[in-house]
Amino acid sequence: MSYLERFRVVPGTRVKLKDIDPAFKDHYDNHKTAAEEIEHYQKKLRELQELLSAERQRSVLICLQAMDTGGKDGTINHVLGAMNPQGCRVAAFRQPSVEEAAHDFLWRVHRAVPANGEVVLFNRSHYEGVLVVRVHNLVPKHVWSRRYDEINDFEQVLTEQGTHILKFYLHISKEEQLSRFKDRLDDPTKQWKVSEADYTERKFWDDYMAAYEDALSRCSTKYAPWFVIPANHKWFRNLAVARIVVEHLEELKMTYPRPTVDIERIRREYHAAKKALTLS
């Protein structure tokens, strides 16, 4: 079974995150046994991104959501590391600025979507409008509850304009999160990432799980699917995300555009120039 199918939230189904094993690693024993395939999909990512950039008929938007320490930055590094940075960029959505807060919740998001030929990765996304906003009662329920339909409409507009949307929830356990917090505390190179919110937010874990389940269930569509990625093992997370992106891009059957110049004439000029150099 393709990973596109294995980890996709089927539209119209109800997600129960407690039934999905965050430590799942398929048939691989460890990182070493998966290393060859990870390298394969990284190579394919770069090839397909080059094709996407050359074709310039469509774009790709990758949305990443996770609990704190879930691996958004690591996933971005893995995906971007395989691609030509000239055709990729990252947009991070933190607390809205004064200007952003003065507009509707999708305003800042629409400004960051990819152009034709481009891949954009969202580190957090428009789904914050039905996640942290909901958990912390930042807006009334009647406001955030209608945002699911607004998000679906927004994503449909993007896809109709040629943007392919792949949304990944990086699924870690509460125990794994605590272990990663400890790693940050013990590693001087990671201590700058530590914040008070890392620990205060843990008491809202169940509320966040409920919010994520609603977002995943109500906003996984045929045109903009959600994927729940087991992310306790960082290497498997990277493999799964890369493989899904590759499988999706391969389904597009992209082709290189035809040359806009007379190749044979330029070839003749090349050989003439080469001959002249030989004779000189």
Architecture of domain 3-279: 3-Layer(aba) Sandwich (3.40)
Q: How sure is the predictor about 259, in pLDDT bands with cuts at 50, 70 and 90?
A: confident
Query: pLDDT above 90 covers what percent of the chain?
Result: 80
Residues for the chain: how many in total?
A: 280
pLDDT 10s digits, 146-192: 999 999 999 999 999 999 999 999 999 999 999 999 988 888 888 78
Q: How far apart are CA 70 and CA 250, in angstroms?
A: 27
DSSP state of 6: H
Better-scored residue on pLDDT, 265 or 8 = 8
The answer, yes or no, to whether residue 279 has pLDDT greater than 80, is: no
pTM: 0.94
The answer, yes or no, to whether residue 130 has pLDDT greater than 80, is: yes
Q: Show Cβ contacts of residue 69 under 8 Å, excluding neighbours closer than 6 positions.
A: 172, 176, 177, 180, 181, 184, 198
Average pLDDT, the chain: 94
Angstrom distances, CA of residue 266 to CA of 101, 259, 261, 279: 55, 12, 8, 20
Q: 100-135 in b/e burial notation, b at 16+ Cβ within 10 A?
A: beeeebeebbeebbbeebbbbbbbbbbbbbbbbbbb
The answer, yes or no, to whether residue 253 has pLDDT greater than 80, is: yes
Scan for tokens 């590094």, then name that residue.
77
Count Cα neighbours of 120 within 13 Å in the Cβ-side half-sphere. Answer: 21
Q: How far apart are CA 88 and CA 129, in angstroms?
A: 25
Lowest mean pLDDT among 72-86, 87-101, 125-139, 181-195: 181-195
The answer, yes or no, to whether residue 246 has pLDDT greater than 90, is: yes
Q: How far apart are CA 95 and CA 11, in angstroms?
A: 30
The answer, yes or no, to whether residue 125 has pLDDT greater than 90, is: yes
Across 112-119, average pLDDT:
97
Q: Show Cβ contacts of residue 53 under 8 Å, excluding neighbours closer than 6 positions.
A: 84, 86, 87, 117, 118
Backbone angles phi, psi at 236, to 5 degrees: -70, -40
